[in-house]
Amino acid sequence: MLKLQQLARGSQRICLNLLTPGLKVTRFQFHLKKMEFSREKRLKARLAGDRRGDLYPHSLQFYLQPPTENISLAEFENFAIDRLKLLKVVENLGVSYVKGSDEYKSRLEREIRKLKFPFRALVEDDYDARRKDHISHFILRLAYCQSEDLRRWFIQQEMDLFRYRFNELNGDLVEKFLKYVNLSYGAISKEVKEKLAVQLLNSTPGLSGAKVEELEFYKLTARSLPAVQSDERLQPLLNHLSHSYVGPDYSIQKNIGKISLEHIDALSVKSFPLCMRQLHKALRDNHHLRHGGRMQYGLFLKGIGLTLEQALQFWKSEFIKGKVDADKFDKGYAYSIRHNYGKEGKRTDYTPFSCMKIILSNPPSPGDYHGCPFRHSDPELLKQKLQSYKIPPTGITQILELVKGMHYQLACQKYFQLTQDVDDIGFSLNHPNQYFAESQKLLSGGREVKKEPSEPESSQQKLSSQKSTNSCSIPISSNTEADTELEGLDAYFTED
């Protein structure tokens, strides 16, 4: 059990061993400094029985008080994951639709309802949703305060979410909320509203003249939002949550045997995200990848279905074309490949890296090809690369705009949309293997990729028979076409 109350005390360090079955993150570390809350404001209500209503009298919160209850680790994790999902949707919608538009609102409403967060205060006794909203906000607040980038991202999404929910409240509830959070902002009078109608109209996006008359405007209300931004309690606390991935576990070997080595070149063009396409190209060109690249690309290939035998064959056949002879490969590199498959060392079945992990950790140095090109490439280089991949100029501009706004995964989604020629990609990207799976689903018309008949053969047998006998139902156009596309790519990659 995690006692959240501890988080509210100053200068504490809490180490938790998360032993929940199936949980990949094994330890969260919390470093807490200076979380000072006024005693007067601290809520005295405990989470029990008839006091529940006292604790969350309103569906919307300013999150002034940290949670003070004990919660299970499973609940802690679930709350965090759901809020992260919600904030990702908020981000996604915020760059895909005009904020406040009907489409934006209806999609956001759907997600809020689906994830069971409070919505429009329709239910008075909405305790569970309000509690989840409260606790999950604080968990992510702590997790996303580790760096300026993370903090800015979190605040932006929370502000958008707050703005949406606030605007959905009716007049009575707005008044109740302002009173509840001690904001004594009075609505401006009808006369003042008429006098300021033009200014109000111009300063409120998406508002028509008729609506100015209908809406209530509050004096100085906009200043309440920066108060959230300048909250000094935001201190670096959670090291792992902001990096953690919350989708399917792609280390599960359900894809094993679905990939033929002879199709990887074509797949890298058709279905690999840019990060993996870049790594594949660099490997083919240089017959070598450094450790970071081998880890990122090797685990991705494992996730799409390469068996250990195939992986050994794949890497060996490429490396021995370069400076590494077969003996050196067998003695050195083969170990780390077996290690990735959990056959050496601690025998951990390593999980392919998520976008978050790739974007936030181990940035590439010169001569490295790992990382996320949307995050780690020079924008001009990225632009040239996209041009060489025949992305239309308007698409490149959109991608670069998203990159500029630090929406790297959304830039990647746009790349997916343009390369797969779809209007709406229909998923929120979190993982390179998810990108691959979704692309394959699309190319196969939504059908699951059929599994190849698995034959128990040795790596040597595979090595000799791969080219002639392996078949694969993976939907690719043809090797020739893909090869031509690959040949058309510029050589952006140089060895040290």
User: Which residues contribute to the site for ligand SF4 (CB under 6 A)?
Assistant: 273-275, 355, 358-359, 372-374, 408-409, 412, 432, 435
CB of 88 to ligand SF4, least distance (A): 12
Q: Environment class of residue 267 by beta-carbon count within 10 Å: exposed (0-12), middle (13-18) or buried (19+)?
A: buried
What is the Cα–Cα distance from 279 to 228, expressed in whole angstroms? 41
CB of 277 to ligand SF4, least distance (A): 9
Cα–Cα distances in Å, from 442 out to 18, 179, 184, 450? 37, 51, 53, 14
CB of 274 to ligand SF4, least distance (A): 4
CB of 202 to ligand SF4, least distance (A): 37
Q: Which is nearer to ligand SF4, 143 or 382 (CB)?
A: 382
In 341-361, which positions are buried (b, 16+ CB within 10 angstroms) versus exposed (e)?
beeeeeeeebbbbbbbbbbbe
Q: Which is nearer to ligand SF4, 161 or 412 (CB)?
A: 412
DSSP three-state, residue 206? coil
CB of 434 to ligand SF4, least distance (A): 8
Q: Which is nearer to ligand SF4, 51 or 390 (CB)?
A: 390
Q: What do you get for the CA distance between the two ends of the chain, in Å?
A: 50
Backbone angles phi, psi at 419, to 5 degrees: -80, -30
DSSP three-state, residue 294? helix
> What number of H helices and E strands is found in the chain?
24, 4
CB of 123 to ligand SF4, least distance (A): 38
CB of 415 to ligand SF4, least distance (A): 7
Q: Which is nearer to ligand SF4, 143 or 359 (CB)?
A: 359
Rg (CA), the chain: 26
CB of 358 to ligand SF4, least distance (A): 4
Nearest to 414 by CA among 434, 400, 433, 431: 400
CB atoms within 10 A of CB 81: 19
What is the Cα–Cα distance from 309 to 460, expressed in whole angstroms? 9
Q: Which is nearer to ligand SF4, 80 or 372 (CB)?
A: 372
Nearest to 276 by CA among 286, 267, 288, 263: 267
Backbone angles phi, psi at 390, to 5 degrees: 65, 30
Q: Which is nearer to ligand SF4, 409 or 440 (CB)?
A: 409
